[in-house]
Amino acid sequence: MNYTTRRLCTVSVSMLGSMLGLVAFATNAQTSEPAAKEKTKATQPAVQPGHEGHNHGVGGVGAAGGAGGVVPSSVRPIQTQAGHGAAQPVAGPSAKSILLFKETTVSTGHILDTESVPVKFEFKNTGSEDLEIQLIKPSCGCTVPDMEQTVYKPGESGTMVVTFDPSGKKGALSRQITIYTNSETKPVHTINLHSFVKPVILTEPRILAFDLTRKGHSATKEFKIFGRFEGFKVARATTQDSDTFSVEIIDGGKVEKDGEDMWLQIIRVSILESAKPNSHRTEITVRTNEEHKKIFSLAVVGRVIGDLELSPVRMTMGRLVVGDEFERQVTLRSNSGNAFEITSVNSVNVVLDATYSAEPVDAEKRDEWTITVKGTVVHPAQRFNAQMSVVTDVADEEMVTVQMYGQLQPKKSTP
């Protein structure tokens, strides 16, 4: 036995016991702390986002949620005014806690679409045990609830503030908020928010669609832009396609609209006589003196037809699933009966693995062609919208565009 070993043997039994006690204490602390955190995490309440898919929940998203009114077992905390997401006291299931709202339906009345509006829902725990708000589910991401706290003592009152964002909305609207509690008597409650939204600027129509226009002819349609304050003006309106469309602003003055005084500006859009035959689409960029909506865009669509005529005017893919094979056709013919050539057909998209071909219906006349698209769906596209370009040798109709529409669904999994 060396010197070091002999010195260690002289350590008293009591000191050794103290040291072992300290080690045991430290070990227990390390193992119990994560368990405590996990227990707290598993019992904290949550606010789930609305069905629009945006995370507007006040404190986060539960791990599950909500189909069939099932409250998730592991959720993130409600964002409260007092705790700012901190862990709140947790109450267990209770047969004697009762959530009672003073009003289950509240209306904002008529509001403009420029500012979010807070609405208060007052409630009270009329039971004899603690009431816990475990989960809040708004029906729309535009509706955001906020709570003062999550646990309420018997007889204690509270307020839920629901903030409604009306931007991009119009007319009469209803939104629901579903509240899940620890009450075994009635665990689920639904409250309703009603509102009538008035756009600060009203546009009619939303999309300007021209009828078929013959080559060499012009056509005119109008947007009506209504403003709510005196002196409303459209300062400027421009098009992305000045070779096809012209734009003019006309002051319509003060008018009555839906029983209200409004100020009208007219945006007159014309297809030019010089417009080339094809399908045309443009956006009109509008600039106004309305501080809440200084700039916005309007859509315009039209088709100018020349000697060549498509039938049908668009190619409909229908509903297909990834892996489906397909074949679609359109015809392109000369109304004058003149012979013409199609030199190429193509489309740039990543959802179809397809071949494009064109054959004359009559090899001698060559005044009508059948255009065929054949292939396989390789990627999903819920709203498939692509262009097929047909190149011809006809003057001013060198490029004929065929719109392709459809709904391409993901491949269904087999059980």
Question: How big is the chain, counted in residues?
Answer: 415
Q: pLDDT confidence of 375, banded at 50, 70, 90? A: very high
Average pLDDT over the chain, rounded to an integer: 81
- Whole-angstrom CA distances from 295 to 226, 250, 285, 288, 289 are 14, 18, 7, 6, 9
Higher pLDDT, 314 or 93: 314
What is the value of pTM for the model shown?
A: 0.61
* 67, 73, 79, 82 alpha-carbon torsion, rounded to 10°: 140
Per-residue pLDDT, averaged over 211-240, amounts to 95
Which H or E run includes 358? Answer: strand 352-360
Q: What is the pLDDT of residues 119-155, one digit of tens each?
A: 999 999 999 999 999 999 999 889 899 988 999 999 9
Residue with tokens 């692509």, as numbered in its chain = 386
Amino acid at 230: E
pLDDT at 363 over 60: yes
Amino acid 369: pLDDT = 97
In this structure, what are the phi and psi dihedrals at residue 359, rounded to the nearest 5 degrees?
A: -135, 140
- Least reliable range by pLDDT among 61-65, 95-99, 127-131, 181-185: 61-65
pLDDT in tens, 214-225: 999 999 999 999
What does each C-alpha distance from 3 to 6, 11, 15 come to in angstroms?
A: 5, 14, 20
pLDDT-derived band at 3, boundaries 50, 70, 90:
very low
pLDDT band at 411 (very low <50, low <70, confident <90, very high): confident
pLDDT at 95: 63
Cα separation, 40 vs 44, whole angstroms? 6
Domains for the chain: give ranges and CATH numbers: 46-198 (2.60.40.10), 201-305 (2.60.40.10), 308-409 (2.60.40.10)
Model confidence at 274: pLDDT above 50: yes
Q: d(Cα 95, Cα 415) in Å, to the nearest integer? A: 41
Calculate mean pLDDT across residues 170-181: 92
Rounded CA gap, 405 and 384, in Å? 5
Q: What is the pLDDT of residue 59?
A: 34
- pLDDT mean over 327-346: 96
Listed in order, strand segments (DSSP E) in 378-411 are 381-392, 399-409
